[in-house]
Amino acid sequence: MREEVGFIGLGVMGRPMAENLREKYAVTGYDMDESRFQGLTGVARADSLSELARRCQVLCLSLPNAAVVEEVTIGAKGLARDLKAGAVVIDFSTNLPSVARRIAAALAERNGEFADAPVSGGEAGAKAAALAIMVGAAPATFRRCLPLLSTLGKSVVRVGDVGAGCVAKLVNNMIVASAFAVIAEGFALAEKNGVDSRLVYESIREGWAGSKVLDVSAAAITTNDYTPGGTIAMLEKDLSYARSMAAESRVPIPMTAAAHEILVAGQAAGRGASSQPAIIELWRELGRRRATP
C-alpha cells in the first residue's frame, strides 16, 4: 500500500508537483479554490485541513505567502490541531526564516516535524520534476523527506536546520530579480541607441552575461508572451521578505533594494500579474518615449 501524502495548495506550482507525487504516493489534495481540482486525476480531495491532518503522516504545502503558511499550519484552524504524532510538514512555499522556525517549534510541541523546502525552477521545472529544492531541516527529518523531495527535484540540498532553506531561496530570488532589473535597463538602453535587444542577446549569451534569466528574458520579448509562470507580484513579495531578513540581520543590500523598487514600479504600472520578464518590456516602453525639453 502506497504512503498517503497530503498536498495543500494546487496552484501554478502545487498542482504539477502533486501530479508528479501521485506516481509514487497516494496523494490527497486540499485547496480553497475548488476549480483547481478540475481535470486533476489521480489526486483525492479532502474537504478540510482537519481531515487531511488526521489522514496523512506527510503534509506538503505550496502557498502564496508567509502569513498563509502560518495560518494553515499553526493558526486557529490549522493542521497542528489534528496533526498525527510523528507527522512531517514540508513547506515548498517561499517563506520567512523566522516564520519557518516559529512553525517548527509549534509543531514540535505536538510531536511533529517540519522542513522548509522552497523551490526554484518555475512552472516548467515543476512539471518536469526538475526543481532545485533548498531544504532547511534537522538531519533526520531531511533523510526522511529525501525520497519524496527527489521525486520532485533534480537538485535537493540540505542547506542547514529549519529556516536555512528559506534563506537560500531568498538569496536565489535576490539574484534573479537583480538580473531581471539590469537586463531591463540594458535592453532599454540598447534600443534607445538603435540596437535591437534581440541581437544584443545573441551577441552576449555565450559570454559572462549568459544565464537562465537572460535566456528567459529574450524568449519572452521575442514571443511577446508574459503569461505566468512566476509573476512580478510574487517576486516583489519575495524581495520584501529578503529586505526584512536583511534589516533583522543588519546586512545592507542596496542592489536588492534597487531591484525591489523596479518590481514595485512594475506593479504600479499594472504589470503585477504578468510574468517576471514583463519588467523588461515596461523598461523598453519607457526607453522608446521621447524626452520632453
Q: What are the tens digits of pLDDT across the range 217-263? A: 999 888 888 877 789 999 999 999 999 999 999 999 999 999 999 99
CA separation for the pair 247, 257 (Å, rounded): 11
| 167-288 fold | N-(1-d-carboxylethyl)-l-norvaline Dehydrogenase; domain 2 (1.10.1040)
Q: Considering 169, 192, 212, 237, which one is annotated as catalytic?
A: 169
Q: What's the pTM?
A: 0.92
Domain residue limits, the chain: 4-161, 167-288
CATH of domain 4-161: 3.40.50.720
Confidence of residue 150 (pLDDT cuts 50, 70, 90): very high
Question: What average pLDDT is seen over the chain?
Answer: 94
| Residue 154 known to be catalytic | no
